[in-house]
Amino acid sequence: MPLTSFFGGGRASHKLPNLLCIGMEKCGTTFLNAAFGSSPDILTPRKKELFFFNEHYNEGLDWYLSWFDFKAKPKAQWVCDVTPSYFRSRKLLQRIKSDLGSPKIIVVLRHPVYRAYSHYVHRLRHMALRLACYGQPFMKEVHVINIRSLLFPRYGEYMRRITDYFPREDILVLTYEEDILNPTGAEAKLSTFLGIPDLDFSHMRRQRFNDGSMPQFYFGENGEEYLSIEGIDYRIPADTLLLAHAKGTQVWRGIKPEKARANIAAAQHWTRRLTTRMIEVLFDFRFEDDLKQLHEDFGVDVVQWRSRTEAVAYDIAMPELKFLHKVR
């Protein structure tokens, strides 16, 4: 049943979301969500990424609206849901169209290879947290069909799909390089798109969101161990496996040594540096033709991406301070 059929009967003061950021992951949508949350004209939910239309659709309207504190911003013009995975299927777009009518749509794009690598590192963390013995190198992921669409989406194809459901004038395309790293650009575009003349992100410019780091296992296999990393000594408890990652340190105590070793061995195959050659090959192999079409259809400046080929590597994640032994 469409959500709009529930609208009324004591819910007149509750607006359904009329602004959605539906893509893409690892393109700066966390920054955008925080910036929107700071505006009195835009109401955001209590957490980013509600996953309503893909994972919680059967929960219904009450569940969806319960995440929005309408009393906090009673004069907000826009009710915004930032869930960047919504772009991934026609079913989700159809649900949004059917239930929300004609919301404004924002899509944030990024150099596709750098975005893919950022998503790959994100995926490594999730697989490592499951102790999945995952050791797939980055360049091999493009040949795995179910992973290829996750890490290496063709922007042009997805954008044309979005326009099958929503008119072009209701879609704003931003880029990570032009609009997220330089919020002044985003302010101007969003002010026009949303009709908010005084939209101001100046207080956000020095804040950092979702800084990535390469996950790293640490294992105290032979009793309590001390590791020296860049002049800092860490104490790893006996029979304990640590996974340091961007959001903290996961601890497995009393883990079987063979399981710990298997995950550490798999991690040796992780791609820890994205080289210039990798960027050039992937861009030509996977994205070149699609990005030309993206430029023609949506005016996105893809030249900025084609000219960027500098290598990148994430810092290795360190254990939390509670495992600190001493600093030399």
CA distance 107 to 54: 17
What domains appear along the chain, each with residue ranges and CATH number? 3-111+153-204 (3.40.50.300), 216-271+315-327 (no CATH)
pLDDT at 206: 65
pLDDT at 231: 81
Residue 60, SS3?
A: helix
Residue at token pair 């294992």: 219
Cut 0.95: pTM above it: no
List, run by run, the mean pLDDT of 10-residue segments along the chain (328 residues).
40 73 94 93 96 97 94 94 95 97 96 95 96 95 84 94 96 94 89 92 71 91 82 90 95 95 97 96 92 93 91 94 78
pLDDT at 185: 83
CA distance 41 to 78: 6
3-state secondary structure 77-136: CEEEEECCCHHHCHHHHHHHHHHHCCCEEEEEECCHHHHHHHHHHHHHHHHHHCCCCCCC
pLDDT at 1: 42
pLDDT at 208: 64
pLDDT at 12: 30
Q: Do the Cβ atoms of 195 and 204 come closer than 8 Å?
A: no
Return the biggest CA–CA distance within the chain.
Answer: 67
Is the N-terminal amide bond of 214 cis, ω within 30° of 0? Answer: no
